[in-house]
Amino acid sequence: MRVTTYAYPWDLARIGVERALQEIVSCGIDALDLASTYHPIDTLSPRDGSPRVFTNARGAVYFPARTERYGRIQPSVAAPEICAVWPEVAKHATKLDLEISAWTITLYQPWIVDAHPECARTLPSGDPIGSGVCPASDDFREYFAALCADIVDQFAVSMIRLEGLAAPTYDYGWLRPRVLVEVSPLAGELLAICFCVSCCRRGIDEGLDVEALRQLVNDAIVAEIEDPAGTPERAANLAADAELHAFLVQHERASVELARIAVSRLDAATAPRLSTMVWTPYSQLLDDHTRSDLQDELALAVDQLVGVSVHDAQRLRSSSALSERPVEFGVLLAPLHSPATAAGAERIERGLRGAAELGASEISLYNYGLLREKDVRDLVTAVRAPL
Ligand SMILES: [Zn+2]
């Protein structure tokens, strides 16, 4: 089993890169998943004396991006002392035989929306969402291709780990949300259908009546808010609507296309492996067959999938579409509570059992700087121990 750990550059900057990497290697960890970009966050690190807080309200780029390589969307680069971690890690990792993955946040980048509101995912009402960009946006795609090439050209990364490639729930990343009506699961799925300029254009280009779709979706949202218990017919009728189905498939494909775009400027012979998480916001609106086909398409675009159920892993392993290019499965082990607590220990045990059932080849610990050194060592021991 290959074991990796997620880590923030700001934690490594404070701890000291060489010291941190030596500790990581001495724990028995094979690779470091180092954030190259990150979303808004408030973290508490227990490392090195009194716990330290890191805050960023709109997300940023955390490696020394070369701005001249980018077009309209210029990277919002973090403080030089944090970005300096990346070259420092690259220098020491080779000596320590530690692989580096570029842990890259994909859509949850509010700083892009601030500078380029037209890139925002947009509700069926036409209201843009402040927390995330749409994977169909041409400007964002251009930026993202440049970003991934910039990382790979500067640093010897063995993997690009794309987080949040698929469109999330409509309210993901909202600051202090105030929603005082019941939003049923179906209403949530409908609200997550993007009607940004790019998605509307793609729909029109495919011959869809996008304004009629907008009306259909908005009417259904109103009906769900009025009657959150809903009716089975309402969900079934929406799922059976051929134009809505085509529009949703376009949305899902936009993320698959983005995975291909991530490596589009790299030399295929030397490109790092690509990993991403499996997720869809449309579990009721898309049927199982369509979701399986879309999962196959995603699997063909990457080398590793994270967050796959045991059922889906079995299906993907036997899928004829993947017979020439089998996909590997990874597992994210995130205690979320201290591993020393009963809740944390239970979550870890569940994660390890899931990884064994899945036949995962890699387990990634979350997250080096947020855990005590003892917790990291205990986690690696648990991963390496036979179940
Ligand atoms: Zn869109």
User: How many angstroms separate the alpha carbon of residue 61 from the centre of ligand 1?
Assistant: 22
C-alpha 178 – ligand 1 centre gap (Å): 23
At residue 326, the pLDDT reads 87
Alpha carbons within 13 A on the beta-carbon side of 333: 32
Ligand 1 center–CA 241 separation, angstroms: 20
Residue 207 falls inside a structural domain: no
Task: List, in sequence order, the alpha helices (H) in 69-127.
Answer: 80-83, 85-96, 110-115
Mean pLDDT of 114-123: 98
In tens, the pLDDT along 27-69 reads 999 999 999 999 999 999 999 889 999 999 999 999 999 999 9
- Cα separation, 63 vs 155, whole angstroms: 10
CATH of the domain at 58: 3.20.20.80
Is omega for the bond preceding 56 within 30 degrees of 0, making it cis? no
**159 Cα to the center of ligand 1, angstroms:** 27
Asked if residue 134 lies in contact with residue 120, where contact means CB atoms within 8 angstroms, the answer is: yes
Residue 296 resides in a domain: yes
Domain annotation covers residue 41: yes
Distance from Cα 251 to the centre of ligand 1, integer Å: 7
Alpha helices, H only, 16-70: 17-26
CA atoms of 60 and 147, how far apart (whole Å):
12
Q: Kindly indicate the confidence band of residue 360, based on its pLDDT and cuts at 50, 70 and 90.
A: very high
Distance 213 CA to ligand 1 centre (A): 14
Amino acid letter at 330?
Answer: G
What separation in Å is there between the alpha carbon of 62 and the centre of ligand 1? 26
Query: Does some domain include residue 350?
Result: yes
State the pTM of this model: 0.96
* Residue 362 covered by a domain: yes
Share of the chain above pLDDT 90, in %: 92
The reported pLDDT for the residue numbered 345 is: 84
Q: Which long-range contacts (CB under 8 A, 24 or more apart) does 203-211 make?
A: 203/246, 203/247, 203/250, 206/246, 206/250, 208/243, 208/246, 208/247, 209/243, 210/247
Say how far apart CA 100 and CA 89 lie, in whole Å.
Answer: 8
Q: For residue 282, give its domain range.
A: 2-122+130-170+254-384
Span 122-141, average pLDDT: 97
pLDDT at position 336 = 75
Q: Ligand 1 center to residue 284 CA distance, Å?
A: 20
Mean pLDDT of the chain: 96
Ligand 1 center–CA 122 separation, angstroms: 6
Report pLDDT for 316.
Answer: 95
Ligand 1 centroid to 239 CA: how many Å?
20
Q: Is 65 a member of any domain?
A: yes
167 CA distance to ligand 1 middle (Å): 9
- Compute, in angstroms, the gap from residue 355 CA to the centroid of ligand 1: 34
pLDDT value, residue 23: 97
Q: 268: exposed, middle or buried (C-beta count within 10 Å: 0-12, 13-18, 19+)?
A: exposed
Beta-bridge partners for 114: none
196 within domain boundaries: no
- Our count of domains for the chain comes to 1
Q: How far is the CA of 133 from the centre of ligand 1 (A)?
A: 8
Q: How far is the CA of 120 from the centre of ligand 1 (A)?
A: 7
pLDDT > 90? residue 344 = no
Does residue 28 form part of some domain? Answer: yes
Cβ atoms within 10 A of the Cβ of 246, count? 14
Cα–Cα distance between 155 and 89 in angstroms, integer? Answer: 9
> Cα(85) to centroid of ligand 1, in Å?
34
CA of 195 to the centre of ligand 1 (A): 5
* N- to C-terminal Cα separation, the chain: 13
Query: How far away, in angstroms, is 39 Cα from ligand 1 center?
Result: 19
| Residue 174 tokens, joined | 């909202």
Q: By the 8 A CB rule, do 62 and 154 touch?
A: no
Q: Are residues 136 and 210 in contact, defined by beta-carbon separation less than 8 angstroms? A: no
